[in-house]
Amino acid sequence: MISLQDCRSRDGADTLAPLRHLFNLPEGMIYLDGNSLGALPSAVPHRVAQVVAEQWGRDLIGSWNTAGWFDLPRRVGDRIAPLIGAGAGEVVATDTTSVNLYKVLSAALNLVEQAEDEAGGARGTRGTRGTRGTRRTIVSERSNFPTDLYIAEALSRERGWNLRLIEPHEVHTSLGPEVGVLMLSHVNYRSGAMHDMAGITAAAHAAGVLVVWDLCHSAGAVPVELTQADADFAVGCGYKYLNGGPGAPAFAWVHPRHVARCWQPLAGWWSHARPFAFTPGYEPAMDITRYQCGTQPIISLSALDCALDVFTEADKLGGMPALRTKSLALTDLFIELVEAHCPGQFELVTPREHAQRGSQVCLTPTHSLPAGCAYAIVQALIARGIVGDFRAGDAQQPDILRFGFTPLYLSYENVAMAAQGLQEVLANEEYAQPRFNRKQAVT
Amino acid sequence: MISLQDCRSRDGADTLAPLRHLFNLPEGMIYLDGNSLGALPSAVPHRVAQVVAEQWGRDLIGSWNTAGWFDLPRRVGDRIAPLIGAGAGEVVATDTTSVNLYKVLSAALNLVEQAEDEAGGARGTRGTRGTRGTRRTIVSERSNFPTDLYIAEALSRERGWNLRLIEPHEVHTSLGPEVGVLMLSHVNYRSGAMHDMAGITAAAHAAGVLVVWDLCHSAGAVPVELTQADADFAVGCGYKYLNGGPGAPAFAWVHPRHVARCWQPLAGWWSHARPFAFTPGYEPAMDITRYQCGTQPIISLSALDCALDVFTEADKLGGMPALRTKSLALTDLFIELVEAHCPGQFELVTPREHAQRGSQVCLTPTHSLPAGCAYAIVQALIARGIVGDFRAGDAQQPDILRFGFTPLYLSYENVAMAAQGLQEVLANEEYAQPRFNRKQAVT
């Protein structure tokens, strides 16, 4: 059995260990919730103060040019691009994941409808809804992050499409001739299960289906190769593994083969070919700029820009491949320790196979523990400074304890201490204490 | 003729003068561009630093509850509400103006279609596009801010509606039986002309037309009475007269009679009745929460929240009515001085009538000045520390010099100095200097 001393030795040999010093982490806290909100990079407070006092306060409107505010969504996009296997000029950091999903999913629907119009010889005018094509179904997973489903439901209703929800194992068999778009999260927010992006994309394309990937739990956490996988569209989050701060702008990527071929309906002035010509008529930009809409929150976007410096440092130490190796070592270790110290008390929800695992570990209590104790276990851990989170179950899925492992700032010792804390919470039956059973709004 | 000494006397008697000390304005600058980007309120740097270091860095994910991040869009909305004549719980501060316009304009179209479906006895299912109603036209002004027109154009295309662009004097005569929605900016971004919100809304309603108001150049600048005017929908900007910082989140208002009666398509999880139930199916919130979509940029939104403290202070000194009185006095003074000191050299673009004037003054050079000199005049003024902006003309409208007058931080002396600067730029023919004629990206 691996000891605390062994873990400390592994930390001593961890070439990524210096990255931890690029973050301001609260003293004594083991933060296993970076998959919900990434920790604060140490350089961000100064950058934000500078943006506020100098760019806004001193230079005012001139900063649109001198501080490059106007290009910031594309500059930040260019910094995210290598983390997701995309090229320069292909990513824009803007708006929220939900809004970006609405844009790219709309664009995907437009592409499908256009292709059918062209194939049918009936050159349809964009926006006419007269002819019904054969591919009018969006497929997604029932366990996808709900906002993705809500956006798809709204668009389906709006556009006369159907939304079909499936289970993870049904992805390949779901790709029938009525399906136009497959919309999946690469890594599931609850289970931490990761899809084979390249394999699924290839199967979808073979079936004539476009694929939209949600990278919220992937970007900065696991290697992503959008170009190599030949994906069509992707969106993702700036405030989880990219550490951009609460509600940091999200991002959108569109494969260059599609970007000028279809429009997206949130056609605000920032998506215009010449926004400062102030023409009354719309002319879409021919690149990823088309997926912008309105003026972006520069302070929050600057925090994200600064946070990405951490990945520049990580690149010098091996980049995403090295981070992935460490992430798997951390999650392997946590699984091993929990199974050793809490035998039979939890079932592993996250896949054991590396190829199917994101950067988190989810556990559900077995019947050896009192029913409904998952919430209180998480609260008892938080009281010990071990911060994970709880996700309530329903008819289809169990309650879970969710632990995110960010290799940028977590050590092997952290993992050992977290597993030990979990063991003690169970041994002391801390989950039975009333103070840990008072539910409050879950975030 | 009013003298500089007279202006200083007016400043001495100005009960709103103390508000200027709530802003960090660059030494020596006369900032007449608050209609583009409001100045930095002095309290914001500290608030932002606190949000970054404490709420994010120290309290991390817990701040969703302890710092009230989740409710922040509604709390900030409640603070904007009194500035626009709306009630508590009716406004949400979120996303961008363009995105919010897409939401409320979609909702307005849905309401019109629903009403026609109901009137026709054919109880239409939301989203079906089979039946064509008679009201399928959106009317707006050709000179409206372009992003509003682009969003309306996109939605019209998407929904099978028409967008008709008219001139300002055609508003009343445009309200034919084919019109479903009238979408106007209350104060025009170029000309500074202000519409009679109550009169136009009443005329529209009498003609069976819903009205969507864009308050970007109104909120915090002129009194707005949405409820009293019986308006239907409104959106507006956080970074102009509300001083929320570059790209601060925008806001949306929906009349309570409509809010639960129609849906909006950006149906992300923040618009859900129970977002943390994580249900796969969408259930819209029954209040203005329905007009949220995804997770908001908390740092930028907190800056806006803090900036609104200025209006709390202004309320103690008479609030919007007092600000309006001063705004009109400032713009009257500027017009008077420019006409006295630069006789015949400019034509006033902004209406002279108080009831039709926002909080800005726009001038266009007459033929007594060299053609195309407006840009260089603005640059020469900026070089003197007098910051206004330039808006290029086109076939329909002339080049303009645009000066925003924010009564929160401008003095009568500022106005006198600005007019004097303009006079000197003309007298010295500074607009002829090559350094002021090199155009760069205009923002």
Q: Which long-range contacts (CB under 8 A, 24 or more apart) does B62-66 make?
A: B63/A246, B64/A246, B64/A441, B64/A443, B65/A440, B65/A441, B65/A443
Q: What is the pLDDT of residue B119?
A: 86
Within 13 Å and on the Cβ side, how many CA atoms surround A351?
A: 15
Q: Chain A residues with CB inside 8 Å of B33's CB?
A: 60-61
Q: Is the dihedral angle over the CA atoms A422, A424, A430, A435 positive or is it negative?
A: negative
A239 part of the active site: yes
In B135-261, beta strands by DSSP E: 137-141, 162-166, 179-185, 210-214, 233-236, 251-254
- Confidence grade of residue A395 (pLDDT, cut at 50, 70, 90): confident
pLDDT at B126 over 50: no
Span A413-436, mean pLDDT?
A: 96
Tens-place pLDDT, residues B202-246: 999 999 999 999 999 999 999 999 999 999 999 999 999 999 999
- State residue A315 phi and psi, 5-degree precision: -60, -35
How far is residue A14 from each of residues A169, A330, A415, A426, measured CA to CA in Å?
A: 36, 11, 14, 31
Q: Parallel, antiparallel, or unpaired for β A210-214 and B30-31?
A: unpaired
Q: In angstroms, what separates the C-alpha of B175 from chain A's closest C-alpha?
A: 21
Annotated active-site residue in B31, B102, B145, B241: B145
Please name the residues in contact with A1: beta carbons below 8 A apart, sequence gap of 6 or more. A340
Q: In angstroms, what separates the C-alpha of B219 from chain A's closest C-alpha?
A: 17
> Could you tell me how many CB contacts below 8 A there are between chain A and chain B?
297
State the amino acid at position A145 in one-letter form: F
Q: Which long-range contacts (CB under 8 A, 24 or more apart) does B259-262 make?
A: B259/B90, B259/B286, B259/B287, B259/B288, B259/B290, B260/B284, B260/B286, B260/B287, B260/B290, B261/B111, B261/B114, B262/B107, B262/B108, B262/B110, B262/B111, B262/B114
Q: Which residues of B270-285 are buried (b: 16+ CB within 10 A; e: fewer)?
A: bbbeebeebbbebebb
Write down the domain spans for chain B.
Answer: 4-42+319-433, 70-312
Give the one of B37, B58, B294 whose C-beta lies nearest to A147's C-beta: B294
- Confidence grade of residue A132 (pLDDT, cut at 50, 70, 90): low
* Subunit contact A294:B95, Cβ cutoff 8 A: yes
Q: Which residues of B202-232 are buried (b: 16+ CB within 10 A; e: fewer)?
A: ebbbeeebbbbbbbbbbbbbbbbebbebbbb
Which of B293, B378, B439 to mutate against chain A (most A CBs within 10 Å)? B293
How deeply is B124 buried, as exposed, middle or buried, from its count of CB atoms within 10 A (0-12, 13-18, 19+)? middle
The answer, for B282 touching chain A at a CB cutoff of 8 Å, is yes
Q: Is the pLDDT higher at B124 or at B169? A: B169
User: CATH says A70-312 is which class?
Assistant: alpha beta
pLDDT at A437 over 90: no
Both structure tokens of A59: 């230079």
pLDDT at A130 over 70: no
Q: In angstroms, what separates the C-alpha of A41 from chain B's closest C-alpha?
A: 8
CA atoms of A285 and B368, how far apart (whole Å):
39
Helix (H) or strand (E) holding A214: strand A210-214
Tens-place pLDDT, residues B64-107: 999 999 999 999 999 999 999 999 999 999 999 999 999 999 99
Q: Is A168 strand, coil or helix?
A: helix
Annotated active-site residue in A74, A190, A357, A402: A402
pLDDT at B198 over 90: yes
pLDDT at A443 over 50: no
Q: What is the pLDDT of residue B437?
A: 87
- State residue B364 phi and psi, 5-degree precision: -125, 135
Q: Parallel, antiparallel, or unpaired for β B386-387 and B360-365?
A: unpaired
Q: What is the pLDDT of residue B120?
A: 79
A4-42+319-436 belongs to which homologous superfamily? Aspartate Aminotransferase, domain 1 (3.90.1150.10)
Tens-place pLDDT, residues A158-212: 999 999 999 999 999 999 999 999 999 999 999 999 999 999 999 999 999 999 9
Question: pTM, whole model, 2 decimals?
Answer: 0.96
Residues in B 217-246 with any Cβ partner in A closer than 8 A = 239, 245-246
pLDDT at B250 over 90: yes
B403 part of the active site: no
How far is residue B228 from each of residues B78, B93, B231, measured CA to CA in Å?
A: 17, 21, 8
Q: In angstroms, what separates the C-alpha of A316 from chain B's closest C-alpha?
A: 25
Helix (H) or strand (E) holding A406: none
pLDDT at A127 over 50: no
Q: What is the pLDDT of residue B277?
A: 87
State the amino acid at position B175 in one-letter form: L
- Confidence grade of residue B440 (pLDDT, cut at 50, 70, 90): low
Closest CA to A334 of A414, A240, A389, A218: A414
Average confidence score pLDDT of chain B: 95
Chain A residue with minimal CA distance to B385?
A59
Which of A29, A30, A31, A52 to mutate against chain B (most B CBs within 10 Å)? A52
A439 part of the active site: no
* Subunit contact B294:A250, Cβ cutoff 8 A: yes
Q: What is the pLDDT of residue B441?
A: 46
B305 part of the active site: no
Topology of domain B4-42+319-433, CATH: Aspartate Aminotransferase, domain 1 (3.90.1150)
Which of A96, A161, A251, A283 to mutate against chain B (most B CBs within 10 Å)? A96
pLDDT at A441 over 60: no
Span B320-327, mean pLDDT?
A: 98
How far is residue A138 from each of residues A101, A151, B186, B266, measured CA to CA in Å?
A: 13, 11, 40, 17
CA angle, A90 as apex, A84 and A96 as ends, to 5°?
75
The answer, for B18 touching chain A at a CB cutoff of 8 Å, is no
Q: Chain A residues with CB inside 8 Å of B45's CB?
A: 49, 52-53, 57
Q: Parallel, antiparallel, or unpaired for β B389-391 and B400-404?
A: antiparallel
- Confidence grade of residue A1 (pLDDT, cut at 50, 70, 90): confident
Average confidence score pLDDT of chain A: 95
Q: Which residues of B37-65 are buried (b: 16+ CB within 10 A; e: fewer)?
A: bbbbbbbbbebbbebbbebbbbebbbbbe
Tens-place pLDDT, residues B328-354: 999 999 999 999 999 999 999 999 999
B402 part of the active site: yes
Closest CA to A73 of A411, A305, A343: A305
pLDDT at B323 over 90: yes
Both structure tokens of A109: 């629907």
Per the CB < 8 A criterion, the answer to whether A355 and A194 are in contact is yes
* Subunit contact B63:A246, Cβ cutoff 8 A: yes
Q: What is the pLDDT of residue B397?
A: 87
pLDDT at A131 over 70: no
